[in-house]
Structures are given as structure tokens and as C-alpha cells.
Chain A
Amino acid sequence: MNISAKEWFKSGSPWVWLNAGAVAISIIMVIGLLGLIAVRGLSHFWPADIVQGTYTIDGQSKKVIGEIVETHEVLTEQLIEAGIKIPDDNEFSIRHLLKIGNRDVNGTDFTWALEHYFEDQTRPVMLFTAERREWGNLYGYLRSLKESGKEISHYDGYEQSPEYMAMWDELDKRVERALRIHEDILKIEKHEIGSINYELERLRLKERGLQLKHVEDPAAYEAINQRRKQLDADYEGLQQRLLDLYTEINRDSLTAEVAGGQIVEVQLAKIVRIFRPNAMGIGQKMVHYAEKLWEFVSDEPREANTEGGIFPAIFGTVMMVLLMSLLVTPFGVIAAVYLREYAKQGFITRLIRIAVNNLAGVPSIVYGVFGLGFFVYFLGGNIDDLFFQAAKPAPTFGTPGLMWASLTLALLTVPVVIVATEEGLSRIPRAVREGSLALGATKFETLMKVVLPMASPAMMTGVILAIARAAGEVAPLMLVGVVKLAPSLPLDGNYPFIHLDQKFMHLGFHIYDVGFQSPNVEAARPLVYATALLLVLVIALLNMSAIAIRNHLREKYKALEM
């Protein structure tokens, strides 16, 4: 014994250790949390093997095909209590969560399966997964290919064979063709028809505006009607092309045998991707993984946001944050400069400083309420009355939208910028200012040419922190402009190109919405983790750069003070 317990306690070192423990726990919590999000978010894109087996319960057996998503150890007793018949020779039972897909056949995507009853587990290489635009994944054996309803090839076995492979390759080619056509259709529907509709709507507003102004001149209306006719004709043309494309894309279909033995026919037009995970090597899987990851960040969501990508949410977040920083930087800096350089330093200034400081601690939802009441209903309502009479009663700015969201968040983050800039200004030695003034520069010149450049890293820090805060804030956005699914991006090719009155999607809200309001939470969960990971990465990056800038700044002025 080196030291007795009594002495050890007297020395106080147990308490020191407990304090050390608190730090350790905090660190573990942070790392654990980040790790959890990373592992769950990233594993989603890995093509999981498809397992086939026979599930026998209550004397009935059925074939089950699916991916094993989760595996749990459960107390056997709890299962028995829940009314599941299982021999209680083992204290614990293993239970899998299987993604069986085929929602059109089964009604659900997921099922629980007890290991005890799940027999003959195999991973046949012939099983394939088809990611579809609706009804979720399809798992099964490819049975035939059809063109215009006529079968062009067929295969019935469960073993791999050259014929099967030939059919598979053919399918691959045809899926690719369908995807190309789909892209064309999308282009016409979204962009070309979209912009025609947009212009038609603008014409309608213009006409209504003329009516409101009591313009009687028939020439004005005639011009509008001319243009409208032309647009209608364009629209007809596009509609025809679309019809052709639709017949093209609906040409091919496949049939597949699913777990229950049924034959399911799927139009290739409905397929996003087909692959046979059990036959893939590690290299192929990595390629697949990269493709999925790219799809995630660059594509639009599918199936009520539970599949596909999150590009509109990324775009919306970036747009909103950019607009916000455009607003917050000048105002924050001016307020800080005023408080530090121009205002008389006294009791009032101190009071204002405390107030501004504390506004950073006011709950964000309060800003949301303010934004909704003041910006949306009050300002927006008045703007509509003044400038958008034609569109009434539909509100233009009198409804939540991108501009109000940016303004609200600018207000929310302005204290951050003010505080950071002020700190930067206060760090600049008096001597520097006085030197500049002594050389004959005016106060404004000193400010612009000496003080502000020196304080710019601090301003940067402030703006970056503001951006980081704004990017993660969700509660106020729920009131002032965010939606679960925006039909179009706030920036596009239609005049005036940037649509400040539009609602937008946001990463943080996407997490909330998909995770909690989605009809199929289980299927959406991995996507939510991936979205969360992306958000964390963005925000951590922003914060780390702010910290780096801050440290750099400190180093710089250390030298100055000498």
C-alpha cells in the first residue's frame, strides 16, 4: 500500500479525479455523438447484402428476402410477455430488423424477425435490388424483360447462368435509356414548362395590374394577349413532345419474382437504379457508395423526402445564409463601430452593450415570433398593399418566405457580429489610432484605412460565427419561411432570377421534418443521420475556421503590443 484510503481522501485528490472525470465524460459525449452520427449517416450508402431465408412462425413458413438493418438482443421473457411463442431455453433471443422493401406487395418496408425462426439463410447472387421512384425498393429475382408488353427474354431458375447474365446486361442498358429519357422529361417539365407557366402568371398579374390602374388602352391588353397566345402555342408543342417521351419511356418493363413467389411487373420508367449487391465485389461496392453519396448531395428528394438527395435543402440553406450574411455584416459592423468609436462611452453605452450582449441569449423562437408578426404580417402585408395589388388576395411578401427568413436570422445573429467586431476594435492599440490622427488623417480615414483593416479578422470571425449559428437554427425558420418540399429553387432562370418571396427548404428543418413528420420514419432514418452529418460537418468547419482566425488575430496583435 502506497497510501491509505483515509490519507488519500484527505489529500483531496479524489475530487480532482472526479473533476477530471467530468471533462472526460464531456469529451466522450461529444466524440460519441459525432461518431454515432457519422457511422449511421455514412453506412446508409453502403450496398447491404440481401439475405434470403425461411421464416417459420406458428407453424407457417414463408420465404423472406431483405436487408438486415439492425440486430438486437432481447430478453426472451419480454418477447413471451408480448405474446410471441418462443422456447425459453435461452435467456436472450436475437432479433433482426429486416428491410423487405416491396411496399406495393407487403404494405410495409420493414419487418422484425427472430433469429430462432429465421432458417436457411443464404445470399444468392441472383437477387437484385431496384430503387424505384415510388413504393420503395424492390427485392427479387429477375424473371423477364418486356418491350411494349411483349416478352423479349425470360429466365426461371435461381442459379446464375449466362442467359440470366445476358438478360441482366440488357436490362442494365434499358434502364440507362429510361433514365436518359426521364432526364429529358424532367428538363421539359421543370424548366421549359415551368418557365412558360411562370411567364403566364406574370402576364396575368400584368393584366390585372392594368385593370386596377383603369388603363383602357386596348393595345396594352392586346400585347399581353399576343404573348399569351404565343406561350400557349409553345406549351402545346412541349406537351406533344412530352407525350412522345412518355410513350418512349413507358416502352420497357421487367417482371420479378418477389419473396412471396408473386410475379411483379415494374415499368423501367419507375426505376432509379438496379444492382445485385450479393454479386458485387468490394470495388464495385465502393463505386456504388460514391454514386449514392453524390446522389445524396446533388439530387432532389424522392418519396416524401425519405429517399434520394437533399440538394434543394442544401441550396436553400446556403441561399438563406448568404442573404443573411449580406444583411448582417454591414449592419453589425456599423453598430459596433458606432458603439466603440463614435458613441460617448458612458452609462448608456454600457447599458446598450449589455442589452446587445444579452440579445444573443434570447431564445431563437422569440425572434421567429417577431419575424412572423413584424416582418411577414406587418411589413410584408404593407409591401403587398403597395406594390403587389395585382396578385391579391394571394399574398406575395405577406407570407413566410426567403427574404423574411434571412432578415429574421440577420436580426438573430447581429449581436454575434457586433460583439465580435467590438472585441476586435477594442484590441487595436490606442497608439495606432493616435498615430494616424497625428499624421493628419480624419477620424473617418483612420477608421477606413487603419482601424477596420486591422479589425477585419475579428469581423470575419463574427460573420463566420453568425453563419454557423444561422445554418443550424431551425425554430425561427419554422415560422418565417421554411417548408418541407419546395416546388422550385429560390434561384432559377426566370426573371428576376432570385425569388425572395419564395419558400425554401433547409437542412435543419429537413432533419426535423423527415425524422418526425414523415409517414415512414424507419425508412427515412438513415437519410436523417446523413443529413445531420452534413450539417454538423458544415457547422464544425465554419466554427473551426472562426477559431483559427481568432487565434491568428491574437498572435498578430501580440506582436503589435510590444
Chain B
Amino acid sequence: MNIENSSVIPDLDFDSPAARRGRKFRALKDKVATVGIGLGGVSVIIAILLIFFYLLYEVIPMFRAAEAQPWQQNGQVVEPYAVPGKGKTLYMAMEEQAEIGLRVTDRGEMLFFSTTSGEVIESIQAALPADTSITSFALVSENSHTFALGLSNGQALVFKHEYKSTYPDGKRVILPTITYPLGKDPISVANVALAQLTVSGNEGSYALIGGNEGNLKAVFISQTENMFTGDVELEQSTTSLPDLGIKIKKMLLMPDLAWLFVAGEGGKMAVVSLRNHDDPTITQVLNASSSKITTFDLLLGGNAILLGNEKGEVSEWFLVRDEQGSWQMTKIRSFDTGTSPVVDLAIEHRRKGFATIDTAGDLRLYNTTANVNVLVQRVADANASMITMAPRANALLIEENGKLKLWHIDNEHPEVSWSSLWGKVWYEGYDKPEYVWQSSAANNDFEPKFSLMPLAFGTLKAAFYAMILATPLAICGAIYTAYFMVPSLRRKVKPFIELMEALPTVILGFLAGLWLAPFMEENLPGIFVTLLMLPLSILAFAFLWAQMPKQIRWLVPDGWDALLLIPVIILATWFSIAISPSLELALFDGNMRHWLTNDLGIAYDQRNAMVIGIAMGFAVIPTIFSITEDAIFAVPKHLSYGSLALGATPWQTLTRVVMPTASPGIFSAVMIGMGRAVGETMIVLMATGNTPIMDANIFEGMRTLAANIAVEMPESEVGSTHFRILFLAAFVLFMFTFVVNTMAEVIRQRLRNKYGSL
């Protein structure tokens, strides 16, 4: 290049309008980019944080208290209206949409009325025989819609209220009707007036029990359809009940027609077994209440009794099988109540819940499984006499002073409470309080069991067994790789083991479930021998190696020992597995599984915690290995050189100098590994039986929180309690791993700063 030529100053104007425009444009571009990147960056970060808030958003409604407000129709509060019809109310009910109510009076009138205005839609008079009056009322259950009226001549009539929806002109019209499941003719129960009556049963078989003290009769009715004519024929059998010895207030019959519960004066309760229809026996008479019993009802499903008394106490009772195998009526729980006498109690149609109203006019809503009182609200003055719950539990009809008032109830998730999620709960049909996860079943009156304990336990169990395998292997491996291995080998080994981390867990899970689990079951003794043989054979080989002449030993330079060990380990494993059948024959009579189950009483599942331990351990090893290795390798070399120079052996240097310095890093590695084990889904899903049991037994499976979500989430109804509890499970997982990882990260950063100063 010629200097002379370039020395001529070019005629450049940096302040031309074009240049200024250019600069302005560039400045603008810069500013736009700054804003854009700022916005983009912040929004990505917000999107990530959204996970946290969204999970919370789905979980929180579960913990909201219930609400009750006067019903609003077209923005107008529905005012109380006079009770339709005359006479005393025996029973009230509402249909599915809570638009139509039914009132049954003591004159045998059945009035269907609009729940918002009280206008009578239809009135049906029960066909009472001449010169009789109604003396008693009995309900099969709220959701069966079936009830009976007891008459003064000892007969009874059974009715069912039904509703049909039609859509003429695109508008819904609900038509109420009364049907007669046992025919229109009265059924003779006793030869005295039916002062007391109870009825129960379902399609095909019913029982009515009625009469008065000392003269109780039970009528068992079975319906059979005549094959030729299609007529329903009734077959009846009548039995006398023994004298109960108490003054009867109310009787309840279980739906299976096997037990009769009688509430008597003075807080007494009698239990009568009808399992043998011809020979009813009194099994128990107990003091159930310290004061007068005011309400006595069957909970949804008909297995449990709710008993309210004059002191305002409400308690739940059901039959529990004792050690001798006999059924005992047992008080399961009492509810948190006020002190005024309970006037009426309404049972929910779809959930194990109920509502009470007391003489003070306080409405209370409860759930029995969760043992929670979700609402206390004064809804009436002191004269409330009856409450009725709509089938969807979204409306409540209250009768007070001859007026009816409709209330709107917002009570979406009463099943959830701290005790139902994390505590032992005494479920119906169980002998004692237990932790159970059972979210759904085929029948409608099922009691959902939402205890997260078995799942949390399963999660920790799986993580624990995985960590037992992974921690020692990964840490020891990392120590060797970082501290003893020659660098050239280290550069290959480290990425290789880190590659394991990328291995899809679905592959590990599938191998664990389909290959490892059967393999381990077949070679159970061999697996245990391997565990013993591996360290022993390594030590034995190492000792022999130390005895070798130097010429041979020097063939393999320091830091390559791991490669030497590979054939040793393969041989040892092969040997252990090969002698497995012989060992099984010699020690365990040919079948170790049988021996475990029969002689030791340890249950054995093919897909068990040991399989999980190995498979998930495999998934966790690279995580722990990689971080531990980094931590050890990052320990400044001059520390170990100093130690070695002072005469310490390499092992001493490692344990006394390097490890203490690296220990926070190792701790954080274990934490992160643990976080991974806790959240792992596919391996546990595929290699455990997914049974939510609480048992630490290594030979049994478990169900983890993560696997539970994967199994149940697709089937759960959006917005239901089950759905939200699964969100809660995800939230718990999220928080757990997040906290654990943050702790680990903070420790790691501290460590890094410390090394920086060294």
C-alpha cells in the first residue's frame, strides 16, 4: 500500500443530513431493541413464574369457605313466600335444577311448587283409605326420591317423585309426577296405627318396618316381574320385631335391609340385626347422646348415621367390625357445632355432607369425611323448622314461621381439609382411621378418599431407595474421576456418564418394568450375592494387584485402574447370577420368593421398590456424579499439592483436605439428585404396581405423587375437587423441588465464591 496516496484527507462530512438521519435511525433502533428485549425478557421470565401462580390459582378455591346468600332470580332477591298448601310439612324436596320443590303434608297432599315464587304447579292427593289419617313418614333416601306414609290403620303407602325435562320451543319445562314403586294399593304393615315407620330398599326388594313400641312389624317385599304378562308381582313376608325396651323416636333401616337403628328417648339408641329376616335380634342398646335426640338421619349411601341432640351436638356413627368379628355401632366423630338444639338436618344427595339448622336460626354446613364445618351463618330467626337441600347442593329451602325461603349455597370443595389430606381419617367401612388414597369408584355414593399421605410416602420411599443406590456410586465415582483418574481418560468418561442423564426415562422405566423386574424375581439370591460380591471382588483384585511384581503393575499407569476393574466386575456379576439358582435350591428350598412370603411373611411384588431403586438410581447417578465431580475438580490444586508435599498419602489428602472443601458442593449434588428422584414420573409409573400403600418394605411397590398425576389427571373432571387435589399434588412437587434446588444452588454459589478467594 502506498502511504502517499492514503495521506490525502478524504472529504468526509460526518454531519451531513443523511448521516444525521442515519444516526438518529440507529439510535431509535437501539432504543426499540432495548425496550423490545426488556419486554421479551421480562415476559419470558413472567411466563415461567406463571407456573407457580397458575398452580396456586387452581388450588386456592379448595380452601375457600362456603357461602350462603338469598337466592337471586334475574338479579332480584327472592323474598320469602307463604308455604304452599295447608297442614304441617312432613317432608320437602327439590328437583335437580332446584326450580321445583315438593312438599308433603300431614294431610296426604303432595304439592309441587315453584321454589322461587311458591306458586303451586301441581297438587296430588294421596289415595288414603277411608277414615284413616297419616301418622308417620319415612324416607328411603334423598337421591332415591322414594318415601312412605304410615297410616292410622296400620297400612303404608310408598311414593316416588320424579321429574321429566322437555324442551318445547327450545325452553326447558320440567314436569313433576308421582309414581308408585310398590303399587297404588296400601301395604299392610301392622295391626296398630303406624306411629313409627321406616322404609328402605331399591328396585326389586323393599322392607317396611312400622308400628308402635312393643308392636313393631317388619314387612319384606320382593318384586318379581311376571315373564308373560309383564305385571309386577309382590311377594311379602312379615316378621315381628322383639321389644326394644325404649321409647321410639325414630327408626332407620339400612339400604341392604340388614340393620335397623332406633333412636329412643333419653338419648338411647338400639341396633337390631335383620340379617336373618325371620329372626330379628337386638345386638346393642347404647347411650348415644347425653341429651334428647332431635335429629336422626342416614348419610348418603345409608351406611352412617348422623345424630343431633338438644345440646346442639352432631355426631356420626356407623357399624364397625370389632376383633371378634361382630358389628358394633361406634361413634366415629363429632362435629364442631353450636350449643343450641339442632332442629333439622338435611343430607346432601351426592356427597358425604349435610346441613343443620338450630333453634337459634344458625345454618351450618359440614362434610363428614373431612370433618369440617365449612359455614356458619344466621339465616333465620328462632323459628326455623325445616331445611331441604337441592340435589346439586347449590340451593337450600328453609321453612320458618309458615314461610319458605330459598338460599343459594356456594360450596364447591367441602371434601378438603388439612385432616382429610394429611391426617388419618376413619372412612366408612374401615375398622380404624387410616391413610387412604382412593379417588374414584364405580358407584355414586362412594366416599372419596383423598389422603395425600400414601402418595407422599410412596414418593419419598422411591426417592430413598434410589438414593441409597445412587449416592455412594455417584459420589465414589466422582471422587475417582475428579481426583485420581488420568485427564485423558477423564475427558472421555465424564461426558459418557453425563450422556446417561439425557437417556429418556421412559426407556429406563420400560427396561425396569419389562426386563429388570422379571430378571430380579428370577435371580433374587443372585442380586443379593452381587451386592456382596462386587466390593469384595474389587478389594480382592486390588490386593492381588498390589502383590504383583512391579514390572506388571507398571504396565498400567496410575489412574487407569477403573478400566482394569471392568472385567473383574463383569466376572463377579456373572458369577453371582450364575450361582443364583443353586443358591436358591440350597438355601431357600428352590424358591426365594416363597421363602420370603411364607417363612418371613414379607409380601413380594414383582415390580417393587428394589427395581425402582436400581432404575431410578440409574437416572439419578449422572446428576449427582456430574455436580460432585465439578465440585471436587474445582478444589484448587495447590491445596492438595501442599498436603501431598507435607507427606500425606493421596487418600489422606482426599479425605482431610479435598473432601471438606468440596463437601457443600457434594451436599448440593445430593439435594439436586433427590429433587430429580422425587419428581421422576415414567420410571415409577412403569416399574411399580402403582398401588398407594404405606409400607416401607423393599419388596413392595408404591404410588408416587408424580405417577398419580399421570394416571389420574386425564380422567378427572375439570374443576372438581379431585382435579384440584391433583393440582395440589403438582404444586407440592413443584415447591419441594424448587426449594431443594434453590438451597442447593445457593450453597453452590457460596462454594464458588469461597474458591474464588483461595
Contacts and interface: CB of A to CB of B under 8 A. Distances in A.
B543 A5 contact: yes
B585 A77 contact: yes
A342 B710 CA distance: 40
Interface in A311-368: 331-332, 334-335, 337-339, 341-343, 352, 354-359, 361-368
B558 to A, nearest CB: 10
Nearest to A375: B54
B579 interface: no
A17 B540 CA distance: 10
A27 interface: yes
Given A362-B738, A363-B706, A373-B727, A516 B513 contact: yes
A562 B495 CA distance: 27
The 4 closest A-B pairs by CB, nearest first: A338-B41, A363-B679, A12-B651, A472-B504
B706 A373 contact: no
B33 to A, nearest CB: 4
A75 B581 contact: yes
Contact of B565 (A5, A20, A361, A535): A20
A341 B730 CA distance: 34
Interface string B25-55: 0110110011001101110110111110011
B650 interface: yes
A100 B50 CA distance: 55
A17 B538 contact: yes
A8 interface: yes
Interface residues of B, number: 115
Interface stretch (B96-104, B204-212, B473-481): B473-481
Contacts of B546: 2-3, 8, 13
Contact of A411 (B47, B499, B569, B650): B47
Residue among A8, A33, A91 having the largest count of chain B Cβ atoms under 10 Å: A33
Contact of A370 (B55, B495, B507, B749): B55
A366 to B, nearest CB: 5
A15 B581 CA distance: 32
Interface in B452-482: 472-477, 479-481
B543 A14 contact: yes
Contact of A508 (B54, B506, B566): B506
B566 A24 contact: yes
A366 B547 CA distance: 55
B37 A342 contact: yes
Nearest to A341: B37
B511 A36 contact: yes
A443 interface: yes
A17 B542 contact: yes
A369 interface: yes
Given A19-B480, A355-B48, A365 B709 contact: yes
A233 interface: no
A444 B33 contact: yes
A368 B679 CA distance: 12
B126 to A, nearest CB: 43
A540 B493 CA distance: 15
9 contacts: A8-B546, A17-B539, A24-B563, A30-B500, A81-B591, A334-B40, A335-B40, A337-B37, A475-B685
A335 B46 CA distance: 10
B679 A365 contact: yes
Nearest to A547: B495
A363 B678 contact: yes
Interface in A3-29: 3, 5, 8, 11-29
A13 B710 CA distance: 47
Interface of A: 1-3, 5, 8, 11-30, 33, 36-37, 73, 75, 77-78, 81, 91-92, 331-332, 334-335, 337-339, 341-343, 352, 354-359, 361-370, 372-374, 377, 411, 414-415, 418, 442-445, 447, 465, 468-469, 471-475, 478-479, 508-509, 511-512, 515-516, 521, 525, 528, 532, 535-536, 539-540, 542-544, 547
B502 interface: yes
Contact of A475 (B54, B503, B710): B710
Interface stretch (B68-76, B250-258, B393-401, B739-747): B739-747
B26 A369 contact: no
Residues of B contacting A: mostly: helix
A16 B714 CA distance: 50
Given A18-B538, A539-B502, A27 B680 contact: no
Residue among B33, B546, B652, B655 having the largest count of chain A Cβ atoms under 10 Å: B546
B682 interface: yes
A525 B564 CA distance: 35
B604 interface: no
A269 to B, nearest CB: 34
Nearest to A378: B54
A357 B740 CA distance: 12
Interface in B549-570: 549, 561-566, 568-570
B618 interface: yes
Contacts of B590: 75, 77-78, 81
Given A14-B539, A21-B534, A535-B504, A540 B499 contact: yes
A159 to B, nearest CB: 41
Given A337-B41, A374-B50, A1 B507 contact: no
Contacts of B514: 515, 521, 525, 528
B625 interface: yes
A115 to B, nearest CB: 16
A91 B585 contact: yes
Given A73-B581, A475-B706, 20 more contacts: A8-B543, A13-B546, A17-B561, A22-B474, A23-B562, A29-B621, A77-B589, A78-B591, A331-B47, A342-B34, A356-B45, A356-B48, A362-B737, A363-B706, A363-B734, A364-B681, A366-B733, A377-B718, A444-B29, A471-B504
